[in-house]
Amino acid sequence: MNHHTLTIQANHRPETLERLLRITRHRGFKIESLNMEQDQQNGQLCIEVSVCSERPLKSLEGQIAKLWDVIRVEESNSPSIRQSAYA
């Protein structure tokens, strides 16, 4: 099982988070933690989501990037990855 953390910048629509949750589940990833904040200046959402799966992360990243309201998605250096790298 591989653990990853993604940082996602997205337009703030009522269903944005719902879209993200659905696609994460459907593409075979489990959410381990989730944090969402709204940027007070531009109104956009900043979402940090930690996921785990046997599937390669890029298969999820590519699908999230295609969501119309998503502006950017990138992998963060999650503690779990660092831990496994140093183990």
Nearest CA among 55, 6, 14 for reference residue 34: 6
Q: Which C-beta is closer to other proteins: that of 11 or that of 80?
A: 11
Cβ partners under 8 Å of residue 70, min gap 6: 8, 9, 10, 11, 20, 64
Q: Which C-beta is closer to other proteins: that of 15 or that of 54?
A: 15
Q: Which C-beta is closer to other proteins: that of 58 or that of 72?
A: 58
The contact set with other proteins (CB under 8 A) reads 14-15, 18-19, 22, 26, 58-59, 62-63, 65-68
